[in-house]
Amino acid sequence: MSAADASATAPGALPTVEVVPGDLLALAQRYLSEGFRWYICTTGIESAEGLEVQHFLRNPESGGEIVLRVKLDALAPKLPSLYPVFPGADWFERETWEMLGIEFEGHPGLRRLLLPAEWDGFPLRKSYPIATPCLPYRPAAENPAAAVVPAPSPIPAGEAT
């Protein structure tokens, strides 16, 4: 397998394809047959626009990269699991479910990966406070206002760098 790639992708610019949840598996199969056999990662993101999932695939021969971006319904975030096509998606989807509450239909078993099995809540959601106590070992902070660093203040739209 050759590894040369003449046009390395510039950092920051990844070719992205917007996908609706229903088309995800068919599109993934198509990319798999086109040579994008190397599964890289799955990310869940919550931003001001809502919840979305991004799957990163790569072509080991040509070095090409593709990102499958699936925007989700905020109230019921569900999409098909990529596990039947790429077995490596197993743990990434478990982690995404655990952290953001996004459900993957067809996943062999969505259960907690990084946190204890009986954990409540989805930590990476913006509504989840970072300093949540977890008794008995993690007591509530005596001074909840004291943070590690002062909370960053957003830059107003008019100010530039």
* Residues of the shown chain interacting with other proteins in the complex, contacts defined by CB under 8 A: 1-5, 8-12, 14, 37-41, 43, 45-48, 54, 56, 60, 63, 86-88, 99, 108, 112-116, 123-124, 128-132, 134, 137-139, 141, 147-149, 151-155, 161
Phi, psi of 80 (to 5 degrees): -70, 150
- Please, which residue, 79 or 99, has the CB nearer to other proteins? 99
For the CB of residue 68, give the shortest distance to other proteins in the complex, in Å: 14
- Please, which residue, 7 or 75, has the CB nearer to other proteins? 7
- Please, which residue, 22 or 50, has the CB nearer to other proteins? 50
Best CA proximity match to 56, nearest among 76, 36, 75, 29: 36
For the CB of residue 78, give the shortest distance to other proteins in the complex, in Å: 20
156 prior amide bond cis, ω within 30:
no
- Please, which residue, 38 or 103, has the CB nearer to other proteins? 38
Q: Is the dihedral of CA 68, 86, 108, 125 positive or negative?
A: negative
For the CB of residue 135, give the shortest distance to other proteins in the complex, in Å: 9
CA dist 156 and 161 (Å) reads 11
For the CB of residue 150, give the shortest distance to other proteins in the complex, in Å: 9
What DSSP designation does 103 have? Answer: E
**Residue 75 corresponds to which tokens in the numbers above?**
């109230």
State which H helix or E strand residue 9 sits in. Answer: none
For the CB of residue 125, give the shortest distance to other proteins in the complex, in Å: 9
Pinpoint the alpha helices (H) of the chain: 24-33, 89-100
